[in-house]
Structure 1
Amino acid sequence: MKLSNLSPEKAREMIRKGEWDRPTAGLSNGYIQANLVVLPKEMAYDFLVFCQRNPKPCPVLDVTDVNAYHPPSVAPQADLRTDLPKYLVYRNGKKTEERTDLTDVWTEDMVGFLLGCSFTFEQALLENDIPIRHIEEGLNVPMFKTNLSCQPAGKFHGPMVVSMRPMKSNDVIRSIQVTSRFPSVHGAPVHIGDPETIGINDLQSPDFGDAVPIKEDEVPVFWACGVTPQAIAMHMKPKLMLTHAPGHMFITDQKNEAFGVL
């Protein structure tokens, strides 16, 4: 069976067994993938309000109960501690660990958040014959910190992160139309064209992910990105935050089209 045709359950099982430790783009095509943020319950309300005020970079798909690691709405049989290929641990705003299992750092006061991921609308772009460079090259999508400020909530404040996809100018309008159908997974682009306008000086030096080649006849298109909470963590320095590693997403049981709008 092709990896793109794996059921979410089988894909998560393969990840849990250590048989897949790479970015999840292309796994279980047609199913929603999600960013993960895990915080102590004392910070969870502020973060939920932050997401509500910043739905483009932080569209909430599901929230666990305190010390529950099974996302009740999108994959109730899954385990958020083990079912992502790679996790990051932030302590006081610094990335201190990369790991493949959160079991021994997920404490009793933790709350897990799943946020929409651009991998969902990428499938829709491909179905509309719009090429995606990082998939063609077998790379992780390039992501950049910007000078766009998120709306603060409680202790949470800081810059938006965007993901970038180069495309021909005659594909840009169609890409806006296609991704606008998916507001729960970042929706339409937040910027098109000159990267310096949003504080990006070098498209070949992403803050997260991999650089991709950009051809002379192409325009960079930027979408709000679910890695934003990691930039927020670096900015506000919470005592502890657990996240997915960029590109290493959680695969849900929900179909992409379930989150699309007509």
Structure 2
Amino acid sequence: MSHSSSKLLIETAQLRQAIRRQEHTGPTSGLATGAMQGNVVILPQAYANEFLLYCQKNPVACPLIGVSEVGDYRLPTLGHDIDIRHDVPEYYVYRDGVKVESLNDIEALWQEDMVAFVLGCSFSFEHALSTAGLPPRNIELGVNVSMFETNIATVPAGRFHGNTVVTMRPYTPKDAIRAIQITTRFPKAHGAPLHFGSPEAIGIRDLSQPEFGDPVTIKDQEVPVFWACGVTPQLAIRNAKPPICITHAPGKMLITDILDTDLAVL
């Protein structure tokens, strides 16, 4: 293991500890650059197989990078010390498909039949964009990425169905082409964009009013570029209406020990 990799693993472990102590409860974009970040969905076992199939049918929006054993809050393949009950800055709790509360810790809600799913996140390719001289606007501004619900339907699986959520990052057309080339190498972090240009074509009416995250400035000569987003399952959860489901709050991810380059297609 290289010195830089060892340093990053120390950073990811320290960041998870800070999150566990609730010293960091904000967005994770731009943190632990070089480490894979993950969207989180926690469901009762009775819904887990259907959700697994939903992810398999929608690999761009829901790229699986980890699944726990039933009742096990650890994910050793993603990080030796991960405890999914504590290591996300903010959790959303859904009951019968309705978000009822947000918490910084879910130990009191953990059940012996729960299964945790971790999906790749576009934050993981932001480091590659920045390294190529294409820093995302949300990182430049120090805010959460803009996220929008679209009219792009996902492929249903059992009780899970809904439209795709996307993240948006603005670029000039020339830089957008380069961004597409770069992000195509990261299929486990949603890969290439789904769309760029006219937001109305995918059902987005106002770029200044994202459903999740923060609005960002779009400069003259720039176009919006849209990538699939791991918040997509939260819409499917509303439709499936499981008795309980716990997810990450949009933009507040699980930090893993996997290097983003480990899952890249070079």
Please state which band the TM-score falls in when normalised by the shorter chain. Answer: over 0.9
Match of 1:111, as an amino acid?
Answer: V
Aligned residues: CA RMSD: 1.2
Match of 1:198, as an amino acid?
Answer: I
Alpha-carbon distance in 2 for matches of 1:193, 1:124: 22
Contact kept, 8 Å, 2:76 with 2:82, in 1: the verdict is no
Q: How far does residue 216 in structure 1 lie from its aligned partner after superposition?
A: 2.0
Alpha-carbon distance in 2 for matches of 1:238, 1:203: 31
| 1:197 alignment partner, one of 174, 178, 201 | 201
Alpha-carbon distance in 1 for matches of 2:204, 2:49: 31
SS at match of 1:61: strand
| 1:81 alignment partner, one of 75, 80, 85 | 85
Alpha-carbon distance in 1 for matches of 2:66, 2:202: 30
Whether 1:103 and 2:110 are equivalent positions in the alignment is no
| 1:182 alignment partner, one of 161, 174, 186 | 186
1:1-262 equivalences in 2 (<5 Å):
7-262=11-266
Contact kept, 8 Å, 2:87 with 2:254, in 1: the verdict is yes
Alpha-carbon distance in 2 for matches of 1:136, 1:235: 35
Alpha-carbon distance in 1 for matches of 2:26, 2:135: 21
Contact kept, 8 Å, 1:158 with 1:236, in 2: the verdict is no
Q: How far does residue 196 in structure 1 lie from its aligned partner after superposition?
A: 0.7
SS at match of 2:42: strand
Alpha-carbon distance in 2 for matches of 1:131, 1:70: 33
Per-residue Cα deviation, 1:20-42 (whole angstroms, up to 9, x for no partner)? 11111122111101000000000
Name segments (4+ residues, structure 1) moved above 6 Å: none
Give unpaired runs (5+ residues) of structure 2: 1-6
Report the number of matched residues.
259
Alpha-carbon distance in 1 for matches of 2:68, 2:156: 23
* Greater mean deviation of Cα atoms: 72-81 or 37-46: 72-81
Alpha-carbon distance in 2 for matches of 1:131, 1:26: 10
Match of 1:252, as an amino acid?
Answer: T
Contact kept, 8 Å, 2:138 with 2:145, in 1: the verdict is yes
Q: How far does residue 110 in structure 1 lie from its aligned partner after superposition?
A: 0.3
* Greater mean deviation of Cα atoms: 156-165 or 235-244: 235-244
Q: How far does residue 72 in structure 1 lie from its aligned partner after superposition?
A: 2.8
Alpha-carbon distance in 2 for matches of 1:59, 1:204: 28
Contact kept, 8 Å, 1:168 with 1:217, in 2: the verdict is yes
Q: How far does residue 237 in structure 1 lie from its aligned partner after superposition?
A: 2.4
Match of 2:253, as an amino acid?
Answer: M
Match of 2:195, as an amino acid?
Answer: H
Alpha-carbon distance in 1 for matches of 2:236, 2:80: 28
**Percent identity over paired residues:** 51
Alpha-carbon distance in 2 for matches of 1:9, 1:91: 31
SS at match of 2:174: helix
TM-score normalized with structure 1 length: 0.96
Contact kept, 8 Å, 1:131 with 1:167, in 2: the verdict is no
Q: How far does residue 65 in structure 1 lie from its aligned partner after superposition?
A: 0.4
Alpha-carbon distance in 2 for matches of 1:16, 1:111: 20
Match of 2:138, as an amino acid?
Answer: H
Alpha-carbon distance in 2 for matches of 1:233, 1:154: 12
